[in-house]
Amino acid sequence: MTRAISLHHVSKSYARGPRVVERLSLDIRPGEFLVLLGPSGCGKSTVLRMIAGLEEVSEGEVRLDGEYANDLPPSERNMAMVFQNFALYPSMTSRDNIGFPLRIETPGADPRARVDATARMLGIQDLLDRFPNQLSGGERQRVAMGRAIARHPSAFLMDEPLSNLDAKLRNHLRAEISKLTRDLGATTVYVTHDQAEAMSLGDRVAVMRGGVLQQLGTPRTVYGLPANVFVAAFIGTPRINLLRGIVRAPLDGAMTISLGKQFLRLPEPLCLDHQLLRVQQGREVIVGLRSEAVRLARASEARPGEVAITGLVEHVEFQGHEVLVHFDTGSRPALVPELESPRPSRPTRRRRRDGTVLDRLRGRAGALRAGPVVVLDRPADDEADHPGQTPPEGRLPGDLVVRTTPDIDLRHGMQIPLLVDLAHLFVFDRNGERICPAPERLPDLDE
């Protein structure tokens, strides 16, 4: 048995506090593995607890298999939770911990057969007579998963179950969880702040920020077509390069995006996505380039759609199978200062006389989506004017990170020719919304 879970404009707020979750709508299909991804404090665990019935819904509806479930107690939802801290009873053996919910559900039945079957599924037959303090972290998490599986629930709710384990064990258990949930066919909602877990486990990924859903899609979609700067910056290792640029679209010349000391010349004839950038003429935008969109090569080796720039080597990270090179291209980075913060702050209201009424309304609408996403208004004495100073927020020097092979010998201070593949170019507006590639639904000027 599996279950469909639907959230319709669900919000959660506490007394005299801001909303933790704001008008969230999700439809989780039966048997689907959905990952709630976001930084700490973005509301993803609260969403999980509202689905489980452990948190009261302030506004909106939770529906299970189409039935209204806001007032349904947790015991009647037929869901099993796996917690971050294992939540095992220290005075019980593994066998008793796994069988405890079965004894509560059916007091007169003997749970040993189901406990043994669950233990064989997880490979923990030899651990059944041990107490939690006699188990390693990975073994405790297997027992905690066994307690959830033994109930044969219609849905699994997992709240960062691997975050307390070391990296090697996390990778191993990640594969086990993926195989196990697919074999059982149960609907799974998995909460994590680790993008590697989200991308490798989820059928779909819901990216959250400040209690607001930013994007919902397959791992390939949220990586390849991020809806905004936050999604682009949160997903991907190394983090996407975000550079401040200005669109130049003269009527009698080639369209370019100025990056400060250099520019990207858009190839002609312009593709549809690049043609739509004409409306940004003279405006400041954010250019997004993933590390694989740039390669080390001379201009004479350019392929169709590639344009040449140069970079000064600032730092080299040897990763074994690859090298990450930090270049200074003379560009100014766009910052996402609240990416790792618990909750973005709301901008203070102040009167603005510049721009049209439509511009001001759009700016306000963008700011209300969980607060500002990017910061473009830097003080005049930023680090670009003082190259000797340490970059802010612990960033490494340079403005462009490029992935390359370990056989290339690079040293600090070398001037290197680079080729940018414009087929992998992202452009975002000042509010952080993606404008290139163009969104599926173009904005209506009458809205």
Domains of the chain, CATH where assigned: 5-229 (3.40.50.300), 230-343+395-436 (2.40.50.140)
Instruction: Return the higher-pLDDT residue of 372 and 112.
Output: 112
Going by C-alpha positions, the residue among 264, 288, 321 that lies closest to residue 399 is 288
**pLDDT (0 to 100) of residue 136:** 87
**pLDDT (0 to 100) of residue 137:** 85
Report whether pLDDT(317) > 50. Answer: yes
Instruction: Return the higher-pLDDT residue of 387 and 235.
Output: 235
DSSP SS3 for 265: strand
Alpha carbon distance 193, 433 (integer Å): 22
Q: For the chain, give the percent of residues with pLDDT over 90.
A: 53
Going by the DSSP 8-state scheme, the letter that residue 161 receives in this structure is: T
| Per-residue pLDDT band at 374 (split at 50, 70, 90) | low
Alpha carbon distance 289, 159 (integer Å): 32
DSSP H helical ranges for 5-136: 44-52, 94-105, 112-122
**pLDDT (0 to 100) of residue 69:** 94
Report whether pLDDT(141) > 90. Answer: no
Instruction: Return the higher-pLDDT residue of 133 and 373.
Output: 133
**pLDDT (0 to 100) of residue 301:** 94
Which residues fall within 8 angstroms of residue 323, CB to CB, at 6 or more apart? 316, 317, 403, 404, 405, 406, 408, 410
Report whether pLDDT(352) > 90. Answer: no
Report whether pLDDT(394) > 60. Answer: no
Going by C-alpha positions, the residue among 335, 337, 343 that lies closest to residue 40 is 343
Alpha carbon distance 306, 438 (integer Å): 20
Report whether pLDDT(138) > 70. Answer: yes
Q: Is 365 exposed, middle or buried (0-12, 13-18, 19+ CB in 10 A)?
A: exposed
Alpha carbon distance 34, 223 (integer Å): 16
Phi, psi for residue 209 in degrees, rounded to 5: -150, 125
Report whether pLDDT(391) > 90. Answer: no
| Per-residue pLDDT band at 403 (split at 50, 70, 90) | very high
Lowest mean pLDDT among 44-48, 49-53, 374-378, 406-410: 374-378
Name the region of 180 (left: φ>0; alpha: ψ -120 to 50; beta: rest).
alpha
Name the region of 167 (left: φ>0; alpha: ψ -120 to 50; beta: rest).
alpha
**pLDDT (0 to 100) of residue 386:** 41
Residues 201-221: pLDDT tens digits?
A: 999 999 999 999 999 999 999
Starting at the edge strand found earlier in the chain, the sheet holding 59-64 runs 19-28, 5-13, 59-64, 67-68
Report whether pLDDT(24) > 50. Answer: yes
Q: Whats the size of the chain, residue-wise?
A: 447
Structure tokens at 393: 């927020």
**pLDDT (0 to 100) of residue 251:** 81
Instruction: Return the higher-pLDDT residue of 341 and 414.
Output: 414
Report whether pLDDT(175) > 80. Answer: yes
Report whether pLDDT(345) > 50. Answer: no
Give the predicted TM-score (pTM) of the model: 0.83
Report whether pLDDT(362) > 80. Answer: no
Question: What is the residue-averaged pLDDT of the chain?
Answer: 84
CB atoms within 10 A of CB 14: 11
| Per-residue pLDDT band at 383 (split at 50, 70, 90) | very low
Residues 249-303: pLDDT tens digits?
A: 888 888 999 998 899 999 888 888 888 898 899 999 999 999 999 999 999 999 9
Highest mean pLDDT among 64-73, 109-118, 171-180: 64-73
Going by C-alpha positions, the residue among 163, 227, 263 that lies closest to residue 369 is 227
Q: How many alpha carbons lie under 13 Å from residue 353 in its C-beta half-sphere?
A: 0
Report whether pLDDT(370) > 70. Answer: no
Residues 26-36: pLDDT tens digits?
A: 999 999 999 99
| Per-residue pLDDT band at 358 (split at 50, 70, 90) | low
Q: How many alpha carbons lie under 13 Å from residue 83 in its C-beta half-sphere?
A: 7
| Per-residue pLDDT band at 344 (split at 50, 70, 90) | very low
